[in-house]
Structure 1
Amino acid sequence: MPLDNPVLSSLLPVVLLILVGYLSGRFNVIRQEAVRDLSNLVFLVLIQALLFRTMCAVDVAHLDFSALSIYLATAAGLFFVLLVAQGGSSRAAVLALSGIFSNTATIGIPLIGLAYGKEALVVLFTLISMHSLVLLTMTTVVLELCSAREQAHAGHTRSGHLRTIGLAVRNAIFHPVPMPIIAGLLFAQTGWVLPGVVDRPLQLLANAFSPVALVLMGVTLAKTSIGQHLRASLVISSIKNLLHPLLMTLLGYAAGLRGITLTVLVMAAALPIGANVFLFAQRYQKAEELVTASVVVSTVMALFTVSLVMYLLPLWVG
């Protein structure tokens, strides 16, 4: 595979950043005690800037909700099937998110831009504008509901169902992921523009999100035995890299999507697991090692699965 191949040129930087983190963790350049602080930096600072700044540029009036809704409905449907199949716990919710949440920015933008051009990027940016808002907010609500239920069972409390749901919804709204998304979306609808003195620092913080998150993932990987999680991570990666795009192809085609729109949505579904899933696993301390292994396996597997999807797409899309 030549180095100028769009798949390789998009995935290789991700693999190398994870490798940098792995070596840093292996040789104790970044010690285990610092991992939680780095995780807080990424989750409570960098991702805030990224989500708020992304949503500030969203003009709801110009979004193509028809195609977008098909992608999000496909992902949400698969999420709840995986959630139920794995027992409906908070751990199951994190693993279900692994099966649907794509690395649309770090890998998707350069890959789809190189392979399909500017027209395809318009479709992708439309998807990115709602991708985190819908899928991460949905997962946050489910995680908070599951966590509230599990805490109630553990403490043998008899608090009412409505109170439990109310607390979970409140925690889901006042949460590091939905809050900047909602705030940015509301700001975008005012028509105002962020002044440069504010936008520039936000841009720098947002740009730092992906590399720092991937390095952090590598540090965690250095403390993780992939061998004991290999089988499970292969299953999760296969669901993300193969089943997700297959479902998107079938449902998108059945809904009448064709051409570049369907191509981009299927390619987005075929992308490997995004770093946000790893951060959710760390935040809720659920399946951290398995999710870390799955992100790495999914990214490496994508070298072959994304190439396969790109090869087969013309047969479906026409």
Structure 2
Amino acid sequence: MLDILAITGPIYLCIAAGYASVRWNLFTKADMRVFGKFVIQIALPALLFNALASRPLGEVVHPGYLLAFTAGSLALIGAALWFSRSVLRKSLTESAYVAMGMTCSNSGYVGYPVMLLLFGPLGGVILALNLIVENLIKLPLLFTLADAGAHEGERPSLLQALKQTGERLVRNPMIVAIFAGFVVALLGWQLPAVITRTVTLFSAASSGMALFIIGGTLVGLQVKGMRRQVSLIAVGKLLLHPLAVFAAVSLLPLLGLPSVDGDLRTAAVLSAAMPMLGIYSILAQRHGFEGFTAAALLATTAASFFTLSAILWLMRHSAGWLA
């Protein structure tokens, strides 16, 4: 168990350091937003570009991983939407944010540092694959549903939501970096050493700072009065999402579809087991649901220390999953 804690411990110590720095006024929550902008706009895009552009195309394209991660996530999105709408009687917009909390992982701020510790340079490729699924499939789908739910009965609003989603993707620096990295890998270009070293310097800043930011943003969040909904989202994100992806990884090859092999099998399940993306509550502000989403972010991030450690332990003691 100590070897598992050696992997997860540094992750949560960095988060704790960020929390303490804001709690004790070394930095402010406004500072965390500035740091976060640097990570999202510069450091993570540099990391993604470097991870993809520095490898042959065959090493960064993994159809089986993309298919399994997408299939498991979409299955849970469907189940979450049905449960929230039919059982909890929530609106389509609120149900979309419940599904987002259950299925959209914090692949950059928490997932990448874990993958880096476990798999070394492969962690950057895993991050890129996760962001492709989340930014091109899951988030556009959920944003469209949330916007459509806010204007139910108005057909043009759905088209407008799709247009707005497309515009967000084009302006997203991480999507631009993924595309640019794929182009460089496809064409086999060798970039000048001064460029690659500069990109590497920026990408190296992403891991620790990302975790530090997560800790700082958790200061002041409250869970009181929302325990039922928060618990539902936490269980969905930390247990049901990795279970759904595990099922997809195991079952899709039986249908003759591409399989997920080696470290990528472990990475797919662990990626699903991460807490939800750090800007979850910020995204929900546009429809007035920042309350329960912020509470869910706090509870899920705290609980993920135990669930991630448990899942890592189970995989390590399951033949063929984690060496």
Between the aligned partners of 2:39 and 2:247, the Cα distance in structure 1 is 36
Cα RMSD (Å) of the superposition? 3.7
How many Å separate the matches in 1 of 2:134 and 2:179? 13
Alignment of 1:33-182 (within 5 A): 33-57=30-54, 59-62=56-59, 63-86=61-84, 87-89=91-93, 91-92=97-98, 94-98=100-104, 103-111=110-118, 127-146=126-145, 148-149=147-148, 159=156, 161-182=158-179
Residue 220 of structure 1, CA deviation: 1.6
TM-score, normalization by structure 2: 0.75
Q: For each residue in 1:193-215, what CA deviation from the matched residue of structure 2 results, as whole angstroms up to 9, or x when unmatched? A: 23222222222222211211211
Match of 2:307 in 1: 301
Between 172-181 and 156-165, the greater mean CA deviation after superposition: 156-165
Specify the SS of the correspondent of 1:298: helix
Is the 2:102–2:234 contact (alpha carbons within 8 Å) kept by the matching residues of 1? no
Residue in 2 that maps onto 1:117: none
Deviates more, 1:211-220 or 1:40-49: 40-49
Distance 1:106 1:172 in 2: 24
For residue 15 of structure 1, the aligned residue among 4, 12, 18 is 12
Pairs within 5 Å for 1:200-279: 200-225=197-222, 232-256=229-253, 261=261, 264-266=264-266, 268-270=268-270, 274=274, 277-279=277-279
Q: State, as a whole percentage, how many aligned pairs show the same letter.
A: 20
5+ residue gaps in structure 2? 85-90
Q: Which amino acid aligns with 1:214?
A: L
How far apart are residue 135 of structure 1 and its match? 2.1
Letter in 2 for 1:222: V
> AA paired with 2:74?
A
* Structure 1 unaligned residues grouped into runs of 5+: 114-120
Paired letter, 2:308:
A
8 Å CA contact 1:71, 1:248 repeated in 2: yes
Mean CA deviation greater in 88-97 or 29-38: 88-97
Q: Distance in 1 between matches of 2:55 and 2:320?
A: 33
| SS of residue paired to 1:33 | helix
